């Protein structure tokens, strides 16, 4: 069995993040988790007391990335990987109807907080020749009506991953689209997106849910978890869909 890794995971209390954490813990790795709600994090720590530390915090607060890094080093002494998984979808409004302040708030949540954590942990990832995995979105490369803020924030995240790959040759930085996953975010777009989204797009998302064909968090979360443990350096700077052929060896059998 490979040596246990020390991995930071953001947005770990539900959906993809919780699936990633569970996958890594079952494999014997050590994780430092963060989310705004502590209940699920507490449950994981009780189940895996020697493997879990957590910080209940808002990633958009300026001190949170530093606190997360310090907590990790205090208990586990090094960092092998960081999975930047937190994010928000709203505001779902067309550009003409949008608020610049709402866009700024979303970029704080989806991009600038991710940048802050990456910057905080890069020196320690250099030491371990570690991995930085970003949970991206298909909206980073495609466009949906009323998803402008979300899509452009994820596109910025992809480009950040590319820049880190160029600037930090000892760190493997990869962005992954998890697909249309059965999470609270999908529920949000079904319930709140109808007023602003193009009808064909809203209908397509709703039909996938009704047909039971949405991706399970464990499927794409498992890929992201495996990349955090063993992503090969040649993947650095690239963006993949979770089920891309290039990631076949990281996909669950």
Question: Which residues are the active-site residues?
Answer: 136, 150, 154
- What's the gap between Cα 218 and its chain centre? 13
Supply the DSSP string of the chain, one letter for each residue.
-PPPPEEEEES-SSHHHHHHHHHHHHTT-EEEEEES--HHHHHHHHHSTTTEEEEE--TTSTTHHHHHHHHHHHHHS--SEEEE----------GGG--HHHHHHHHIIIIIHHHHHHHHHHHHHHHHT-EEEEE--GGGTS--TT-HHHHHHHHHHHHHHHHHHHH-TTSEEEEEE--SBSSHHHHHHHHHSTTTS-HHHHHHHHHHHHHT-SBPHHHHHHHHHHHHHH--GGGTT-EEETT-GGGGGGS--
């Amino acid at each position: 069995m490979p040596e246990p890794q020390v991995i930071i995971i953001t947005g770990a209390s539900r959906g993809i993040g919780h699936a990633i954490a569970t996958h890594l813990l079952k494999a014997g790795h050590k994780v430092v988790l963060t989310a705004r709600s502590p209940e699920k994090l507490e449950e994981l720590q009780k189940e895996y007391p020697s493997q879990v530390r957590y910080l209940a915090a808002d990633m958009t607060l300026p001190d949170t990335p530093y606190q997360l890094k310090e907590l990790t080093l205090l208990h586990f002494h090094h960092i092998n990987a960081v999975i930047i998984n937190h994010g928000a979808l709203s505001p779902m409004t067309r550009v003409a109807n949008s608020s610049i302040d709402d866009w700024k708030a979303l970029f704080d949540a989806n991009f600038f907080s991710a940048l802050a954590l990456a910057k905080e942990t890069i020196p320690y990832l250099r030491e371990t020749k570690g991995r930085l995995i970003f949970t991206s979105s298909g909206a980073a490369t495609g466009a949906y009506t009323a998803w402008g803020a979300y899509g452009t924030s994820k596109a910025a995240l992809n480009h950040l991953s590319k820049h880190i790959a160029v600037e930090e040759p000892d760190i493997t930085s990869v962005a992954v689209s998890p697909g249309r996953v059965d999470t609270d975010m999908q529920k949000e777009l079904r319930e709140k997106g109808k007023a602003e989204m193009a009808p064909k797009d809203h209908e397509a998302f709703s039909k996938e849910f009704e047909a039971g064909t949405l991706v399970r968090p464990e499927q794409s979360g498992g890929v992201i978890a495996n990349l955090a443990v063993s992503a090969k350096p040649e993947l650095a700077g690239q963006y993949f869909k979770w089920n891309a052929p290039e990631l076949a060896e990281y996909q669950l059998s």
